[in-house]
With several copies, the nearest count.
Chain A
Amino acid sequence: MNDELRALYQEVIIDHGRHPRNFKKLDHPSYTQEGYNPLCGDRLTLYLRIADNKIIDASFEGQGCAISMAASSLMTERIKNMPVTEARQLFDAFQNLVTQPDPPKKIREYLGKLTVLGGVRDFPVRIKCATLPWHALNACLNNITKQIVSTE
């Protein structure tokens, strides 16, 4: 097994892929967002409960590869109890991690455990797997903005 593969399938990923955390439907979610990757058929639904501009709870359901399962699991773990504005920052940082050849140390430190997904960088077609839940998250956050705009 070469280094790239080893970096991609780190133990944390295999573990979260196998035993995803927060893998359930949320009761009374404020936001529900489907994410779908037509290439491989990965499909997930992200549930968020949000109050006072803060993500109170997050969970997901669906089926997909180890990367997208682990990414969803790790993401939901991390964003719980996170202010919406920070979640946006986190989204940007994660995008940076998986698409930039050499993400800055600051970003990696900020992402913490999420950096295990950095290995997809060397697997262009797999980047979409890692970012699938994040795009679902982003869509939710954009909806919040719209609502705020429309209620102001």
Chain B
Amino acid sequence: MSLIDRSAEHSSLPFSKVDWPAIRRDFPLLTQQPYGKPLAYLDNAATTQKPNIVIDSVAHFYRFDNANVHRGVYQLSERATAAFEAARDKIKYFLNAPLREEIIFVRGATEAINLVAQSYARPRLKPFDEILISAMEHHSNIVPWQMVCKQTGAQLKVIPINDNGEIMLDSYRALLSEKTKIVAITHLSNALGSIPPVQKMITMAHAREIPVLLDGAQAAAHFKVDLQTLDCDFYTFSGHKIYGPTGVGMLYGKKSYLEAMEPYQGGGEMISRVSFESSDYNSLPYKFEAGTPNIAGVVGLAAALGYINTIGLDNIRQREQQLLNYATQALEQTAGLRIIGMAKHKASIISFVLDSAHPHDISTILDQQGVAIRAGHHCAMPLMTRFNVPATARASFSFYNNESDIEQLVQSLQLVNQIFSGKMGE
């Protein structure tokens, strides 16, 4: 981040002053040249690349501060604990969460949702109770609920979406009932890029005193999340999708819910007293953090959030909307291409199909041109069924992408068209 004024942290630069090419240079991986071509990394919805500051802070932790946390009465362990707990404060600040003890470190969004399904929902669900999700959820926000339904006899209900990939609010209203025990929806669809009207949906659920979990695995990297405004009851994201390390993520839960829940895993750290007869659980957040956490991962995640704050989420959002618009227009002009998901509110994720070629073939050819996209069901098989496609190709953009990445994508798609129309000759 050498070219951004460091003192600007937490009060980011005006958009016009942000040096995007310099920011791109903060990401060492982006300079590699697969097959001798520049790398256009457009699979950011799967995982993001890491800026130097994140890579270095993980290495720095291991070189200088590594110790187990919360238990040692020596300097090194105090330093590790301080770094670990400071990260919790940073996340609280990043999400504007009410209380630091409402932030729980987990492996990622998937684990967070399983935690809520097992520790919150499972003991509370009775047969024929209902869990409400949307038609555009990631498998990680489907399967944990199916498992708890199987365990309890509750039922999974699905809020439909229209052909643009937008939640149908009337159907949602109709589905909410006394039977509904929790609503779990994505804050940004990884397959379509749609941003559902979560604020309205939370208000509608709360009117019936139904708690709402937002799956922020995609959202948190793309726009400012304000938990006090949203007032959702649970929120989650994964570090690796927000420029942080793999193997770390967080669950936010309202204190009143978390306190009433049974722990998810048992072990060190999450108890205050153990005898063979019984154990007392520790206070929040530790009650939900059994075992040694991903300490270096947490430290790296804090560095990632600091980095994002330096650029500013408003700047990021604005830049990514530019890229989204540029790419949408360019793709719409590509012969035989159809974009799946045309929601009014979208983030920089575009799914598409080509008449000439299957997404899998597209992806192989693009790869050889240095363009990394995702082909497949994007862990959203039911959504593929909804749009009656076996799979899609997906390009997802980060603020570090640029217009030439998009040119490279579009030109490579033209090559696909050529190959599959047999116009290549020999």
Question: In the complex, are there CB atoms of A and B closer than 8 Å?
Answer: yes
In the complex, the answer to whether A41 meets B282 with C-beta atoms within 8 Å is no
Shortest A134–chain B CB gap in Å is 17
Please report which residues of chain B, range 333-377, place their CB below 8 angstroms from some CB of chain A when the two chains form the complex. Answer: 357-361, 364-365, 368, 375-377
B420 at interface (Cβ–Cβ under 8 A)?
Answer: yes
In the complex, the answer to whether A5 meets B365 with C-beta atoms within 8 Å is yes
Contact A125-B78, Cβ < 8 Å, known A9-B419, A14-B420: yes
Q: Which of A65, A66, A67 has the most CB atoms of chain B within a 10 A radius of its CB?
A: A65
Nearest A-chain residue to B381, judged by Cβ: A41
Bound: A65/B384 CA distance, A: 15
Bound: A106/B358 CA distance, A: 33
Chain B 3-47 interface 0/1 with A at a Cβ cutoff of 8 Å (1 = within): 000000000000000000000000000000001000000000000
- Which residues does chain A contribute within 8 Å of B35, judged by CB atoms? 2
Bound: A124/B75 CA distance, A: 10
B148 at interface (Cβ–Cβ under 8 A)?
Answer: no
- Which residues does chain B contribute within 8 Å of A129, judged by CB atoms? 360
A84 at interface (Cβ–Cβ under 8 A)?
Answer: no
In the complex, the answer to whether A4 meets B360 with C-beta atoms within 8 Å is no
In the complex, the answer to whether A36 meets B273 with C-beta atoms within 8 Å is yes
A77 at interface (Cβ–Cβ under 8 A)?
Answer: no
In the complex, the answer to whether B78 meets A41 with C-beta atoms within 8 Å is no
Nearest A-chain residue to B74, judged by Cβ: A125
Of B71, B358, B365, B415, the contact of A39 (CB 8 Å cutoff): B71
Shortest B244–chain A CB gap in Å is 26
In the complex, the answer to whether A39 meets B70 with C-beta atoms within 8 Å is yes
For the complex, count residues of B whose C-beta is within 8 A of A.
Answer: 28
In the complex, the answer to whether B357 meets A66 with C-beta atoms within 8 Å is yes
In the complex, the answer to whether A64 meets B390 with C-beta atoms within 8 Å is yes
- Which residues does chain A contribute within 8 Å of B357, judged by CB atoms? 66
In the complex, the answer to whether B376 meets A40 with C-beta atoms within 8 Å is yes
In the complex, the answer to whether B272 meets A41 with C-beta atoms within 8 Å is no
A8 at interface (Cβ–Cβ under 8 A)?
Answer: yes
In the complex, the answer to whether A41 meets B361 with C-beta atoms within 8 Å is no
- Which residues does chain B contribute within 8 Å of A6, judged by CB atoms? 424
Nearest A-chain residue to B36, judged by Cβ: A2
In the complex, the answer to whether B361 meets A67 with C-beta atoms within 8 Å is yes
Shortest B414–chain A CB gap in Å is 12
A63 at interface (Cβ–Cβ under 8 A)?
Answer: yes
Bound: A4/B73 CA distance, A: 15
Chain B 193-210 interface 0/1 with A at a Cβ cutoff of 8 Å (1 = within): 000000000000000000
A121 at interface (Cβ–Cβ under 8 A)?
Answer: no
Contact A40-B375, Cβ < 8 Å, known A2-B368, A5-B365, A63-B390: yes
Nearest B-chain residue to A69, judged by Cβ: B358
Q: Which of A8, A9, A18, A126 has the most CB atoms of chain B within a 10 A radius of its CB?
A: A9
Of A2, A5, A8, A65, the contact of B358 (CB 8 Å cutoff): A65
A101 at interface (Cβ–Cβ under 8 A)?
Answer: no
Shortest B68–chain A CB gap in Å is 12
In the complex, the answer to whether A41 meets B390 with C-beta atoms within 8 Å is yes
In the complex, the answer to whether A42 meets B273 with C-beta atoms within 8 Å is no
In the complex, the answer to whether A40 meets B415 with C-beta atoms within 8 Å is no
- Which residues does chain B contribute within 8 Å of A124, judged by CB atoms? 78
Nearest A-chain residue to B77, judged by Cβ: A125
Q: Which of A8, A11, A39, A42 has the most CB atoms of chain B within a 10 A radius of its CB?
A: A39
B391 at interface (Cβ–Cβ under 8 A)?
Answer: yes
Nearest A-chain residue to B377, judged by Cβ: A41
- Which residues does chain A contribute within 8 Å of B376, judged by CB atoms? 39-41
Shortest B260–chain A CB gap in Å is 21
Which A residues have a C-beta under 8 Å from some C-beta of B? 1-2, 4-6, 8-9, 11, 14, 17-18, 36, 38-43, 63-67, 123-126, 129
Q: In the complex, given contacts A39-B376, A40-B391, A65-B358, what are 4 additional A-B residue pairs having Cβ atoms less than 8 angstroms apart?
A: A5-B364, A14-B420, A42-B360, A125-B78
Which B residues have a C-beta under 8 Å from some C-beta of A? 35, 70-71, 73, 78, 272-273, 282, 357-361, 364-365, 368, 375-377, 381, 384, 390-391, 415, 419-420, 422, 424
Instruction: Offer 15 A-B interface pairs, CB within 8 angstroms, sorted by A.
Output: A1-B419, A2-B368, A4-B368, A9-B419, A14-B422, A17-B361, A38-B272, A40-B360, A41-B377, A41-B384, A41-B390, A41-B391, A64-B358, A65-B360, A67-B361
